[in-house]
């Protein structure tokens, strides 16, 4: 009885067929479309039909670009309108940014960080983008909690992080 096993041969793209095993590994492949061809020969010498597997290698992160400015200043009580972001990718053409982070509450003075994330179909995450939204009070009375002090602050322009405060 002939006990020789079935042998498998594989080739990647336009390469030559070579003996292979499962799981199949290949040298590093460039990003883009690829093809693996597989055929088997049984112990009696019968060769199977070739099986073709097509796949795409994608190692490139998507890129997020904000619509509008990276930093916004709103007056206390204004309406915050989310401008969103665009996502571009080398293969996926319809990716959408996932918006997260803090909810902007324009009834409360403060700094709010809105985050934008995306992941392509290959699992590559984009670098997170953050929009800073400043809610400020310009020339409106500010009441100090727990006291009877009310002071009117003159209008001013908010400064970016790391810049000196304006008088």
User: Considering the entire predicted model, what is its pTM?
Assistant: 0.68
Q: Supply the DSSP string of the chain, one letter for each residue.
A: ---PPPEEEEEETTS--EEE-SS---S---SEEEEEEEEEE-TT--BPPPEEEEEEE--PPPEEEESS-SEEEEETTPPP----EEEE-SS-SS--PEEEEPPP-TTS-EEEEEEEE-B-TT-PBPPPEEEEEEEE-SSSEEEPTTS--EEEPPP--PPPTTSPPP-
Does residue 156 have a pLDDT over 80? Answer: no
Instruction: Tell the residue number behind the tokens 């700094």, with chain if given.
Output: 111
Tens of pLDDT, residue by residue over 33-52, are 999 999 999 989 899 999 99
Compute the mean pLDDT over every residue in the chain, rounded to the nearest whole number: 85
Return d(Cα 85, Cα 98) in angstroms, integer. 9
pLDDT band at 4 (very low <50, low <70, confident <90, very high): low
78: left (phi over 0), alpha (psi -120 to 50) or beta: beta
pLDDT band at 28 (very low <50, low <70, confident <90, very high): confident
pLDDT at 85: 98
Per cent of the chain over pLDDT 90 is 70
Does residue 158 have a pLDDT over 70? Answer: no
Tens of pLDDT, residue by residue over 97-110, are 999 999 999 999 99
pLDDT at 154: 46
pLDDT top residue among 134 and 27: 134
pLDDT band at 2 (very low <50, low <70, confident <90, very high): low
Tens of pLDDT, residue by residue over 130-150, are 999 999 998 655 444 444 434
pLDDT at 8: 92
State the average pLDDT over residues 83-93: 95
pLDDT at 141: 54
């Amino acid at each position: 009885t002939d006990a020789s096993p079935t042998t498998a041969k594989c080739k990647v793209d336009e390469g030559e067929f070579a003996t292979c095993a499962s799981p199949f590994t290949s040298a590093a492949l460039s990003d883009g479309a690829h093809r693996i061809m597989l055929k088997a020969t049984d112990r009696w010498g019968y060769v199977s039909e070739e099986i073709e597997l097509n796949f795409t290698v994608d190692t490139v992160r998507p890129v997020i670009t904000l619509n509008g400015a990276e930093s916004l200043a709103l007056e206390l009580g204004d309406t915050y309108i989310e401008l969103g972001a665009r996502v571009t990718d080398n293969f996926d053409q319809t990716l959408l940014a996932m918006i997260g982070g803090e909810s902007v509450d324009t009834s409360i003075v403060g700094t709010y960080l809105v985050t934008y994330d995306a992941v392509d179909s290959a699992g590559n995450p984009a670098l997170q983008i953050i929009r800073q939204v400043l809610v400020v009070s310009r020339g409106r009375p500010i009441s100090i909690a727990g006291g009877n002090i009310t002071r009117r602050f003159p209008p001013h322009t908010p400064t970016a992080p790391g810049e000196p405060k304006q008088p």
